Every structure is written in C-alpha cells, then in structure tokens.
Amino acid sequence: MESMRLDKYLSNTTGESRTKIKDILKAGRVKVNSSTIKDAKTQITPGEDLVELDSMPVIYEKFRYYLLNKPAGCVSATKDRLSDTVLDFFKGENMDGFFPVGRLDKDSEGLLLITNDGMLAHRLLSPTGHVPKVYFVELDREIEEKDIVKIEDKIDIGDDKPCLPAIVKKKEENFAEITIFEGRFHQVKRMFAAAGYEVKYLKRIAMGDLFLDDNLKTGEYKKIGEEEISLLRKKV
C-alpha cells in the first residue's frame, strides 16, 4: 500500500478533523513504531507501520460506513447553497470524499447510507442490483385491497416501463409498508399516486439487510461494521 501523511491516516481512521488531529499530535499522544511523533507530515505506510493513539493501535480503514437517520428538511447531497445537507449532521468529523448512497426526498426521513466506498454505492444503485428497500408511509386515506394488488403488480407511473413488482403491507388506519426493488425518482409517492393516493409521510426503514435502529434519533448516525456491510454486499 502507498504511504500517506500521518494526519491523513489518523483522520481517515478516527473520523476526526485534520485540525483536531494536529492538536492530538502536538500533545504527544501518537506513536509510530514505538516512537512519539508530533509532525503531521510524517509519511507512514498502512499495514506496515504500527500507529498508536493513547497506546492503542489505530487500524487503517480505507472505507467507512455510516447509517444516518435522515430528518425531513435536508437534502441528500454533499453540498447545497440553499438547504442543509445530510453531511451537515457529521459535525467535527472528516467527511472528505463521503456521500449519500442514493437519495431520500427533502421531506422524507429514515435510513440513509453514507460512505466513501464508490464501488459499493455503484453496485447498490445499479438498476440490475434490485436491492430491496422498505418504506413506512402515511396515506391520505385507508388503502383498499384492490389498490394494493394494483401497486404490487408492475404499476405504471408514467416512465418508459412499469415498475418492478412490489410488496405492500396494510397497517392500521392510513398507514402502510411498501418494499420496492429499484430506485426511480420519487418512486414510492408516484406508485401510490398512480393508484389514487397521496403520501403524507414517508420514512425508509430498511435497505437490503440494513435496518433503521429504533434507538437512533432523527438526525443521529452510527458507524456500521464490516459484518453488516458484508451482508449488504451479498444482496448485490
């Protein structure tokens, strides 16, 4: 593996900003191959040099993965001149090169994967991937069984071809759960609209084998381990 600056190595592995890393180095908290190093420009080789922070080994991670419980009112983008973005919730972390995998509408909430792994993102978003995505919806009225059948059976939303078959589960009152296997523009809202319903509230609760943590409040995020990512990769 190619060598890199020590501050970049530490920022990538800990998620801390370069500024915070420089403070950590100045405090003498970092050792490389048992020697205390304070120079941020020091070149190290991941996998060969032993880097320690507060006497604990710091293992290099080329890619990181976060699950964000996206709130309404922000956009699924890295930059926006008018609105907050999903990356604005990662205060104090080094998010250079990170991006949301796919999009949730500005007024939608729920599970959003944030990563710097472009290959995984490509595979998850590929039209041939057919990764299942589950949404909880509130409708303007109680859905009828005949319309559930209509939505599930390749409903036409005005695109070049009908949607892939979906799965709709009726919940209490005006609520439902829908699983889709593609990611068209405003797809869930358009599917229900084609059957005569308006979506009042939309929240993604699962993608592949990733599920929204009930303990994760709106606007909060958590780091995802390799085990969960491996399960997700198997879906594509």
Question: Is 153 annotated as catalytic?
Answer: no
47-51, 105-109, 181-185 — most confident range: 105-109
pLDDT digits (tens, 9 = 90+) for 161-191: 999 999 999 999 999 999 999 989 999 999 9
Q: CATH 3.10.290.10 in the chain, residues?
A: 4-57
pLDDT in tens, 141-167: 999 999 999 999 999 999 999 999 999
* The pLDDT value given to residue 135: 98
Predicted pLDDT at 235: 67
pLDDT of residue 16: 84
Percentage with pLDDT > 90 across the chain = 74
4-57 under CATH 3.40.50.150, yes or no: no
Which pLDDT score, from 0 to 100, does residue 130 have?
Answer: 86
Structure tokens at 79: 């930059």
pLDDT at 96: 85
pLDDT band at 227 (very low <50, low <70, confident <90, very high): confident
Q: How confident is the model at residue 225 (pLDDT cuts 50, 70, 90)?
A: confident
User: Is 92's pLDDT higher than 80?
Assistant: no
- CATH 3.30.2350.10: which residues of the chain? 65-234
On the question of pLDDT at 1 being above 80, the answer is no
CATH top-level class of 65-234: alpha beta
Torsion angle in degrees (nearest 10) through CA of 166, 168, 174, 175: -100
pLDDT at 232: 81
Q: Give the mean pLDDT of 11-22.
A: 86
Catalytic hit among 105, 153, 156, 159: 105
